[in-house]
Chain A
Amino acid sequence: MTALSRRHLLGAAMAGAALPWNAAQAQAAMTAAVYPGGWDEALRAVLAPRLREAHNINVAFEPLFAVDQIAKARAARGNPPFDVFVLDPGPRVSGIDLGLFEAFDPTKLSNRAQLPNGYSDAHGAAVAAQVVGIAYNPTKVAKPKGWADLFKPEYASKLGLTGFQTTFGTISLIEMAEVFGGSETNVEPLFAELRKIKDQVAAVAAPAAMPGLFQQGQIDLMYTNTYTVTLLRSRGVNIDFAVPETGAAAFVTTMHIAKGSRNLDSAYKYIDTMISQPVQTTLAAEPFFFVPVNTGVTPGADVPMRSISEITNFVSHDWTKINPLRAQWIARFNREMAR
């Protein structure tokens, strides 16, 4: 009798304890990969609360660089550690080639009409743009006119070089190759020029180390995106963005749903909320400085365009051609730069 009542009591207590648990279960949960640093801060501060309010979805973030997302999804072999990827063009093409994404249905995005044509497709949707050019310290060097200037002695000795392991690095180096007579698939002329300046350049470093080297005055010139320029300036660094005479290069960052995701519905809502006007407006402003893809949002002052629809005027690259060559370029850059 006592045992029975105790059991009843216990059962009642457990049911009571379970109540808030059940209520919490009505809330959907998902995991999204996000670039560490600025992206992580921005999406946690802006996108996550918005998603919770609008759709009652709780998102957990996993901070990973693009290449780490691909490597992790690949190693997981069909059991993705997150539901949504965020990638630059190079890793995006790798992801498509490796079959890491669910087929994407753009009609599930209520905000897709506010994206430029072609910004959502069968693989995913663009969520931010990046504009790449030359960053320089206006108190130390004159504004460079174009890519070729970086190879002049007065600039080269203050230049920071980074290789083909990132999207912005790869397209900057391709742009330089083109100035010297190369192309998207031929960077040989670039290596010939690099060989001449490699002993003078101020630094050859990992992409992630570049902003720190610039801030410390080790380098006064680098190739980077407008986002990094605005961010460093907001932290008191003397830095300006120069659009090369051959034009700034632009590309988009895209989101994709991981193959095998069990939270498809939440994943679509996450991407849809990301491209919505209120989120894109907040992300384009201080302190986040994203380049918006929503045509209804005006990009920040450092971005040399007034609307994302102008992006078609920028230099763009075909990553299906670049990707197969990239491995050998990366290895080549290591060897060419070695002391």
Chain B
Amino acid sequence: MAEGGIWRLALPLAVAQMLFFAAPLLLLAATSVATDENLRDWSLRAWRDTLGDGFHIESVLNTLRLGALTVLATALLAVPLALVHLVAGPALRRVILIAAVLPLLTSVVVRTFAWIVILGREGVINATLIGMGVVTAPVPLLQTEHGLIIALTQIEMPLMLLPLLAALARIDPALLDASASLGGSLARTLWKVVLPMALPGLIAGATLVFASASTAFISQGVIGGGRLNYLPALVWQNAMVVFDWPLAAAMAITLMGSVLMVAGALSLLGQRASHA
């Protein structure tokens, strides 16, 4: 096959992407600078309302912070588990892998509603705490940011764990022996050998978790509730209930742009790490 041939193989996907992804995206951008959804006239009103409004800016920052905190929580829990996976025997490895993939097999809606049962005022956690006498009144967990982060950490965990396991699986066990035989302590081996090699997986996981948690419309609404404002719910509300499509479009682009920026920064970091 000629040099150009291989590109032709990707043509169907490229055409489909142009039609069903790039074109609607352009339409979205056009809608955000129009006076209404029929694009009759141009106006920057939607952008002024999005970026010039303290409440909306705060919602953007809330959304980004939620993504960042979820990344932090999933990374802190996933790294030790991935290290156990690294040194475990084949049977335990399989158990860890199945446990990591299992949550993906249930719908996100089911997982989210299950968290109401756990975090609620009369939920599992509060019943246990009150039963043990740790607290006398229920601790508010549902409808709080920390409750939402707890739930998202479980919901998004596979997205962090799977790339991490894949990255660690590529480490040659002989490297660990080499480090040990050269006098490297366990901590030094972890820090100097394992972590640098796990970094691409960690960064891939962080990108996925960040993008997924900051746009987790259902979990944000159901666990977080109406007192926490995040961009996905505002986009939905403006598009579907208020019928302000230009504002919804401007917010959608803001959401996409800010998530892409963080993802871009992370992937840049990943490239640096893998070339270092």
On A, residues with C-beta under 8 Å from B are 67-68, 70-71, 74, 94, 161-163, 165, 198, 202-206, 209, 212-213, 216-218, 326-327, 330-331, 333-335, 337-339
Contact = CB atoms under 8 A, between A and B. Distances in A.
Contact of B117 (A216, A330, A334): A216
B209 to A, nearest CB: 24
Contacts of B222: 205-206, 209, 212
Contact of A337 (B37, B116, B227): B227
B243 interface: yes
A282 B2 CA distance: 69
B116 A67 contact: no
Contacts of A339: 227-228
Given A67-B241, A68-B240, A338 B113 contact: no
Contact of A205 (B123, B143, B239, B244): B143
Contacts of B228: 338-339
Interface of B: 37, 55, 58, 113, 116-117, 120-123, 142-143, 221-222, 225-229, 233-234, 237, 239-244
Given A162-B226, A205-B143, A330 B240 contact: no
A216 B226 contact: no
Nearest to B234: A334
Contacts of A204: 143, 225-227
A68 B239 CA distance: 10
Contacts of A330: 237, 241-242
B121 A335 contact: no
A63 B105 CA distance: 24
B225 A205 contact: yes
Contact of A218 (B113, B116, B221): B116
Pick the 10 closest A-B CB pairs, nearest first.
Answer: A204-B226, A217-B122, A216-B120, A327-B242, A218-B120, A205-B225, A165-B241, A67-B240, A206-B221, A204-B227
Contacts of B120: 213, 216-218
Given A165-B241, A206-B222, A218-B121, A213 B227 contact: no
B149 to A, nearest CB: 15
Given A216-B116, A216-B122, 6 more contacts: A71-B243, A162-B226, A217-B121, A218-B120, A218-B121, A327-B244
A109 B120 CA distance: 48
Contacts of B242: 326-327, 330-331
A332 to B, nearest CB: 10
A330 B239 CA distance: 13
Contacts of A205: 143, 221-222, 225-226
A281 to B, nearest CB: 33
A338 B227 contact: yes
Nearest to A219: B121
B143 A338 contact: no
A338 B241 contact: no
Contact of A71 (B55, B117, B234, B240): B240
Contact of B227 (A68, A71, A198, A216): A198
Contact of B226 (A67, A206, A327): A206
A216 B123 contact: yes
10 contacts: A161-B226, A165-B237, A205-B226, A206-B221, A216-B117, A216-B120, A216-B123, A217-B120, A218-B123, A338-B58
Contacts of B123: 216, 218
Contacts of B239: 71
